[in-house]
Chains A and B, each alone.
Chain A
Amino acid sequence: MAVTGSIVFLAIFVGCSYALFADQAGLFDWKQDYVGKVKFLHWEQLPSAGKKVLLASEKNVIASVNAHDGSIVWRKIFESDRRGRIDAFLHHGNAVVSVQAGGQFVRSWHAGSGSLNWEKSLTTDSASWASAFLLEREGKRDRIIVTTSSTMHCLKLSDGLEEWRAELPNSDTVNRWFVQGQSDGFVAVGVTAGQRVTVVSVGVEGKVKQPKNVPAPWIALDTSCVIMEDSKHFVCYSAQTSSLQLLSLEAVSVFIPTDLKELGVATSNDSQIEAVVPELGSTIMFRSLENQLVLMSLTSQQAFSVHKVLDKTYTAQVTKHAEKSILLTLAQAGPESLKLTGVDFTAGTEIEDLSQTFPFAHYHGHPTKLYPFVFTKKKDSSNKPACKLIFSSQDYSLHFVQKNKAQWRREESLSYILTVQMVDLPVSENQAKFEDEFGTKEEDIFAMFIKRLKAQFSQLKVFTMGLMDRVMGHTHHYTVSSDAIEEEEPEEEDLVRDDFNLHKIIVVATASGKIYGIRSHTGKIAWQQFVPDLVPFQRYGQLKLLLLVQRTTAHFPHAPQCTVLGVSKQTGNGLLISFNPVTGALLSGRQGQGHDLGFKVVQAEMLAEMDAEFLKGLILIDDHNKPHIYPESSQSVFKALTMQLFFHLMNSETGIMTGYRLTPSASELSLDEIWTLDLQKSQQTITGVYGKRAIDLVHSQGRVLGDRSVLYKYLNPNLVAVVAEGEEILSSSNNKGPSAFFSLYLIDGVTGHIVHHQTHKRSRGPVKVIHSENWVVYTYFNEKYRRNEVGVLELYEGRQQSNSTAFSSFSPPPPPLVMRQAYIFPEPIYAMASTVTEKGITSKNIILALKIGGVLSLPKALLDPRRPVMPTQETMEEGTIPYVPEIPLSTEALVNYNRSIFNVDGVFTSPAGLESTSLVFVHGIDIFYTRVMPSRMFDVLKEDFDYLFIGSVLGVMILVSFITQKLAARKALNRAWK
């Protein structure tokens, strides 16, 4: 990653920072690069066609992917907002052109290396969609036509020079233009969403002729439309009326609808016009269902007729090869296989050489788009055609098929991760037996003794087997690997916990409805499940899925259980998917389906109490504020609870936070409102509520000061941090416009009592918050000084602790001492999290994903509000670092060294079995995993510990002492004889 001049190297902090050795790079960490859901794909034409593919994605990424193994050759990541949106993606020769943000950026790239050839900005309006195509004149394709909302440009492909431009009419209302070239100019159809279309013809040199308007109130920005090959007709599919709307461009008057029901063509949510098929005359390919395509021809009566129905076909594509037009279709062949068929259009015969049948796992959904590459086999002289095939599927994955084999695939939904959990692997069979031994109490001594003998015998057996394997070498492995080529994933080591519990299963749920289990050690996918119905919660523009670990791996023989809570695409109700996080086996519902709850979920949380089978239940609150318990078996456990549960709901539309009480022993479950808190919606909007993590343990109750007294921490488990951002209108004397501010509240979630409140003036978000132990760390942008800052609050009870055994919100200690400080943070950040360890003894680090590409591990000691401005004897005794306004960043503290990671969505940390170690998972477009040791490795020997050297030195010492003893004895004897 790159570091700017603002990064200061201070020798004092090198001691605090943890860094890798150069040979450890890639040993504990891995990074996987993705591009996102593919939007455009071209096969590379030069230097040798079909070796690479060029693609552009919904995540605003363009990339070149090697067709041989699916690896990324080069990749360019653009802004994640609308400035980076890719509207058109063209490829010719060795140039790739990306048209972005409605024509605000037109960039040409070298297809082989990915270097920028030229760049142009055609407009400032990035809201509308641009269109672009390659212009073919006299057999040469060296011009591109780009249309923005207001203008049409003709650019030279080689250097981007503008040949001519044309001002298009109705530019203030048109959202996008459909353009087609014809012999004597261009025809352009502009779409104004919800109102009309504008038809205009443009001459060869950019002369605009009189525009004509046709009303079309049904049209939307994303309505699928095409201009027919003859440039005389414009066809759209109107989803509301399930009809095709035809407009004759010569006699512009009105759209003529063709009702698809009358033609016997079914329609669904997937319906759209896929493409024009010029090989068949005026014909379009229309998708009616997810597995049905219809070819429809335009009749002379300005209506459509069904030409051919491609039943049970997921996707089809027409390509030209050797003067023949070939229709390639992809259809289901068996339960887990697909079949590609090639049909010669003109002759109407099937081409046997193109047919392929290949396996396709059910957890990819169904194919959605086909990108074939047909070529002639060079080896034999028969000139037989062959086909390389790339297709995308419903779960965003990209598959490559050649010679009846699925050669590689890219799991692109891993760049849409919404929620992460790390789950322990189960203990090995032997250790499970030991657990079993102590698990039951009823047995007598003799039976237990037998059990112990059995367990130890099996342990011995496993040990000898392991030893045998090692002695025999890797012969065993060779036989396996030769068989495993056919398999999806070659057999790996068993999913068994390692000595220090460092290897885990990373369970992730993605926005595409796919759930993965990833081995943390290797980054390989252990299992995957696809639930097409699962969509994330969409609250105020943010996507969310919940992933809860209902039963951990600790309760052998009960299998662990995780649950994903999302929304059902069909009904909008809550959808639960329960599964075993280690094997990936679904526990509820049928394959690929979840459990529809039958109500909309507003809030959900896990109970702390386990039922008889060690399963933690879920409390779900529906949109009528009625609580539900899931599963049913937890109901009795819940009823038996003596204490009350407290909830709070935040309504960010009204800015009111409400606290509720739930009494489990009551006959009917209902929520009682106990407090409300108005957070002044008129001035500010709530942007986040941050509680503490349940697994976050506090080892030390206080801090020892320089004078040997103890400052006790304020450890309220019910404390939540609430951030609200707003803008205040300044008085007219200060004409600088509105100035942003944000407020931070620390609220007791049980009583609604505001423990602390502060406002930062002339500062704006996005405010990122970490809330842990007795401190809150938050980052924001200071508008006054135009710099990023990080603030820290620490709460202390004082020199006396009011109650050392348990904290009660109803008898709270006196208001805590709030210590605060702010520091300049030189780099903007994407996301941050604090490390968590098993027992909380290790000091904490803060993991920050910097926008410059690094993942920084920053000791919390640097963000300490007790850092003194003037260091004294006492503060030196305490060990606080003297105050420096700027947080120094060192490149050695970047845990991802030169593996830059951009557009990060989140950072997740998890404890490992070793107290010193915390596991870090960073996700965004890429995924990155590593482990950090905030207090260095204090509990294990370093892995570079030289056993051989130490052992040999020890051996030599013993030997020398024996020899010298002997020699000394002999010498003494000799001397005595003298």
Chain B
Amino acid sequence: MEEPIQFLQFILCMFLFNWNSFACGSDVDDINDRAEFKIEGKVFVAAKDKEWTLNSRVLVDGGEYLGFVRSDGTFVVHGVPSGSYIVEIANPNVLFEALRVDITSKGKMRARRVNFLQPNQVKQASYPLEFRERGKPNYFHKREQWRITDFLFNPMVLTMVVPLLLIMVLPKLMNAADADTQKEMQNQMNALNSRPNVPDASEILSSFFSGGSQPKKAVKAKPVSASKRK
């Protein structure tokens, strides 16, 4: 820390290096005397129009080897040396399951399900490959829409509306029943109203401007004015 050279703010670097394009294919070529095979298969999509065949690409090992889908759904990928490959269909609007294809050095083909977790587990699939539509991809969130039913059946709204109904409707029912109870109710209501209500805006202001020495007065004044009104 006490070095005469204090701290270093930057390190200068530059990329002088190459990306070795990894020569997997050529290696296999050397070993197997350039034997190359083809992968065949068919894609099944329920759609009637053939639009999907135009933007479908068959990717073998992520596009190292490419194939194109014909209008009847079949495809061939030529020039693939022996090895183990993952074949997938790239289409922006349809989902497919990827398959693994093993090609022996003699050209024997085997197709199986992709299992990255246990690569040695073999679940055979048919060859020539068959890709079936597994649904449509969902790229977007659904935007929340405001609907009146959503609002009404909201529990918060329900808890507020039901007591409100009780307060509004029940007294009406009782009123019609008996004159005495009505009077009793009236008294009860009066008692409720006589309590100091929420202070009026003008009262707050006046008490505020009248200074800190008289808050007690203002409080006292309230029940008086309330009783007068009655």
Question: Measuring CB to CB, which residues of chain A are less than 8 angstroms from any residue of chain B?
Answer: 1-7, 19-25, 74, 76-79, 81, 83-84, 101, 104-105, 107, 113-117, 119, 121, 124, 126, 539-542, 544, 602-605, 608, 619, 642-652, 685-689, 691, 694, 717-718, 720, 725, 737-738, 740, 749-750, 764-766, 785-787, 803, 806-811, 824, 826-828, 851-853, 885-886, 891-892, 894, 897-900, 902, 944, 949, 972-973, 975-976
B229 interface contact, C-beta 8 A: yes
**A83 to chain B: which residues have CB within 8 Å?**
65-66, 79
User: Quick one: given A21-B141, A808-B3, A976-B230, are A2 and B89 in contact (CB under 8 Å)?
Assistant: yes
Contact with A along B93-113 (1 / 0, CB 8 A): 111111000000000000000
Query: How many angstroms from the CA of A23 to the CA of B145 in the assembled complex?
Result: 13
User: Quick one: given A79-B66, A886-B116, A973-B229, are A4 and B9 in contact (CB under 8 Å)?
Assistant: no
Given contacts A7-B95, A541-B18, A652-B17, 15 further A-B contacts (CB under 8 A): A2-B96, A3-B137, A4-B97, A5-B134, A20-B140, A121-B79, A647-B11, A718-B8, A764-B24, A785-B119, A811-B2, A891-B137, A892-B141, A900-B90, A972-B193
Q: Which of B9, B15, B22, B141 contacts A766 (CB 8 A)?
A: B22
**A544 to chain B: which residues have CB within 8 Å?**
15
Output the least CB separation between B5 and chain A (Å): 5
Interface segment out of the listed B54-62, B155-163, B166-174, B207-215: B54-62
Output the least CB separation between B161 and chain A (Å): 16
Q: Which of B3, B18, B91 contacts A811 (CB 8 A)?
A: B3
**B18 to chain A: which residues have CB within 8 Å?**
539-542, 652, 687
Query: How many angstroms from the CA of A107 to the CA of B78 in the assembled complex?
Result: 11
B19 interface contact, C-beta 8 A: yes
Query: How many angstroms from the CA of A332 to the CA of B193 in the assembled complex?
Result: 97
**B84 to chain A: which residues have CB within 8 Å?**
786
Query: How many angstroms from the CA of A898 to the CA of B92 in the assembled complex?
Result: 5
**A976 to chain B: which residues have CB within 8 Å?**
229-230
Query: How many angstroms from the CA of A647 to the CA of B10 in the assembled complex?
Result: 9
User: Quick one: given A116-B70, A539-B18, are A25 and B11 in contact (CB under 8 Å)?
Assistant: no
Query: How many angstroms from the CA of A76 to the CA of B63 in the assembled complex?
Result: 13
Q: Which of A126, A828, A891 contacts B139 (CB 8 A)?
A: A891
- List B residues 2-40 near A (Cβ within 8 Å): 2-3, 5-22, 24, 27, 31, 34, 36, 38
Query: How many angstroms from the CA of A643 to the CA of B76 in the assembled complex?
Result: 63
Contact across chains for A6 and B98 when beta carbons are under 8 A apart: yes
B123 interface contact, C-beta 8 A: no
Contact across chains for A5 and B96 when beta carbons are under 8 A apart: yes
9 cross-chain pairs, A with B, having the tightest CB-CB distances, nearest first: A540-B18, A5-B97, A828-B62, A605-B12, A851-B62, A898-B92, A897-B139, A121-B78, A749-B11
Q: Which of A124, A642, A646, A973 contacts B11 (CB 8 A)?
A: A646
Output the least CB separation between A829 and chain B (Å): 8
Output the least CB separation between A608 and chain B (Å): 5
Provide a sorted-by-A list of 7 A–B residue pairs whose CB atoms are within 8 angstroms: A4-B98, A74-B54, A602-B14, A647-B12, A652-B18, A824-B117, A898-B139
Question: Measuring CB to CB, which residues of chain B are less than 8 angstroms from any residue of chain A?
Answer: 1-3, 5-22, 24, 27, 31, 34, 36, 38, 50, 53-57, 59, 61-66, 68-71, 76, 78-79, 84, 88-98, 114, 116-117, 119, 134, 137-143, 146, 193, 229-230
Q: Residue on A with the closest CB to B3? A: A810
Output the least CB separation between B36 and chain A (Å): 5
Q: Which of A2, A21, A650 contacts B94 (CB 8 A)?
A: A2
Q: Residue on B with the closest CB to A114? A: B54
Q: Residue on A with the closest CB to B35? A: A124
**B143 to chain A: which residues have CB within 8 Å?**
21-23, 944
Output the least CB separation between A848 and chain B (Å): 12
**B22 to chain A: which residues have CB within 8 Å?**
725, 740, 764-766
Query: How many angstroms from the CA of A605 to the CA of B9 in the assembled complex?
Result: 13
Output the least CB separation between B13 and chain A (Å): 5
Output the least CB separation between B148 and chain A (Å): 13
**B140 to chain A: which residues have CB within 8 Å?**
19-22, 24-25, 892, 897
**B2 to chain A: which residues have CB within 8 Å?**
811
Query: How many angstroms from the CA of A104 to the CA of B61 in the assembled complex?
Result: 19
Output the least CB separation between A802 and chain B (Å): 9
Contact across chains for A19 and B141 when beta carbons are under 8 A apart: yes
User: Quick one: given A2-B94, A853-B90, are A119 and B68 in contact (CB under 8 Å)?
Assistant: yes
**B141 to chain A: which residues have CB within 8 Å?**
19-21, 892
Query: How many angstroms from the CA of A6 to the CA of B3 in the assembled complex?
Result: 54
**B78 to chain A: which residues have CB within 8 Å?**
104-105, 119, 121
User: Quick one: given A2-B90, A900-B90, are A749 and B15 in contact (CB under 8 Å)?
Assistant: no
